[in-house]
Amino acid sequence: MIELRRLHHVALAVDDLDAASRRWTLEFGLLVSETGPDRALLVCDDGAPAVELLTDGREPGLDHVAWELSRDCRLEDARAHLDGIGVANEEVDGGLRLNDLEGNELHLLPYAEPGSRLVPHARPAGNLAVGHPRRLGHVNFLTGRIHDQVRFYGEALGMRLTDWLGDGGAWLRLSYEHHEMALVDKGYSHFHHLAFDVVDIGQMRAALDHLGRHGRWLGWGPTRHGVGGNIASYVRIVEEACFVELYCDMEKIAADHEPRIWPDDRYSSNTWGPLPPRSYFRFDQAAIDSERASLEMLGQPLDDVPGAPR
């Protein structure tokens, strides 16, 4: 058997470890909890790992996504499950390393007893600054193999299907949150975003003001998603080729939930209005430049470039 407890962290390969640590802490209110010559672990709160920054020779961008196993699922159980269904894996640093069907690297970490089981506001603040996100909540990937990937994440990692958007998007959960993982069919594979849970739209407002002062901009949002119900804002991170989503007010899912198929329309994406610009699904320079200058909103379409994703 296999059962995941939570999304543990997203590891990003970076160009310059010091500069990246400084950016991620200053801009998002994260705290450095561990550092080494080629890695830094940043946390949202003392019990909430979030982002690992690595200089391991890879191109800047996603390095891996790490999931923590449930208390009752030992590493040996997870390994036997993966071996039993023929998913290659290897043990590294006390965890398991494997790849999904599009080569995205995944780590499975054993359950770790938290330092405190009390809610965060009942624990000492330590070195935390005010305004940090509560936790890393979910990840989202663009994919060219959505049906295969949905099957993989269900069979290999035990995720449960919450919703489909037509057959172009799928949302998967571990327990009662609407999703910890999402896949969007864009005809190619790329990490799209990591998402921080903020308390409410008031905290989101303060965070977006702060990010604007750091030169960040929104690729899309604020939105109110039909699917998932979360209020969400997507900030472009050029350096690590992804977005950060800040979200709140996500739908909670009952234990006996039946997966739904939402119509693939504007309302399912954003009950408040606009669909994302085309640049939102791209990470090439033309898309970034177009988005930075809001050219699509000014009526100047983003050209297809040969070989570029749709």
Pull the structure tokens for residue 95. Answer: 């965890």
Contacts 24+ apart (CB under 8 A), 202-206: 203/131, 203/248, 204/231, 204/233, 204/246, 204/247, 204/248, 206/131
Output 23 or 138, the one with its CB closest to Fe ion. Answer: 138
Piece of the chain touching Fe ion by CB under 5 A; list 50-58, 202-210, 241-249, 289-297: 241-249
Pairing relationship of beta strands 105-109 and 260-262 according to DSSP bridges = unpaired
Pairing relationship of beta strands 190-197 and 135-143 according to DSSP bridges = antiparallel
Distance CA(146)–CA(207), nearest Å, equals 32
CA distances from 183 to 36, 188, 210, 271 (A): 33, 11, 29, 20
- Minimal distance, residue 108 CB to Fe ion, in Å: 22
Task: Rule CB under 5 A: say whether 223 interacts with Fe ion.
Answer: no
Number of residues that bind Fe ion (CB under 5 A): 3
Piece of the chain touching Fe ion by CB under 5 A; list 40-48, 106-114, 135-143, 260-268: 135-143
Output 152 or 191, the one with its CB closest to Fe ion. Answer: 191
Piece of the chain touching Fe ion by CB under 5 A; list 83-91, 127-135, 158-166, 242-250: 242-250
Task: Rule CB under 5 A: say whether 177 interacts with Fe ion.
Answer: no
Q: How far apart are the first and last CA of the chain?
A: 38
Residue type, 219: G
CA distances from 251 to 57, 66, 162, 176, 189 (A): 39, 23, 11, 9, 27
3-state secondary structure of 173: strand
Task: Rule CB under 5 A: say whether 172 interacts with Fe ion.
Answer: no
Task: Rule CB under 5 A: say whether 162 interacts with Fe ion.
Answer: no
Task: Rule CB under 5 A: say whether 140 interacts with Fe ion.
Answer: yes
Pairing relationship of beta strands 231-237 and 169-173 according to DSSP bridges = unpaired
> HSE of 196 in the Cβ direction (CA atoms, 13 Å)?
30
Task: Rule CB under 5 A: say whether 245 interacts with Fe ion.
Answer: yes
Residue type, 310: R
Helices marked H in 156-253: 201-213
Residues 14-53: x where in contact with Fe ion by CB under 5 A, - otherwise, as a string: ----------------------------------------
- Minimal distance, residue 281 CB to Fe ion, in Å: 13
Output 3 or 245, the one with its CB closest to Fe ion. Answer: 245
- Minimal distance, residue 192 CB to Fe ion, in Å: 8
Output 24 or 141, the one with its CB closest to Fe ion. Answer: 141
- Minimal distance, residue 211 CB to Fe ion, in Å: 17
Output 140 or 223, the one with its CB closest to Fe ion. Answer: 140
Question: Taking CB under 5 A as the criterion, which residues in 189-218 touch Fe ion?
Answer: 195
Piece of the chain touching Fe ion by CB under 5 A; list 16-24, 101-109, 132-140, 274-282: 132-140
Binding site for Fe ion (CB under 5 A): 140, 195, 245
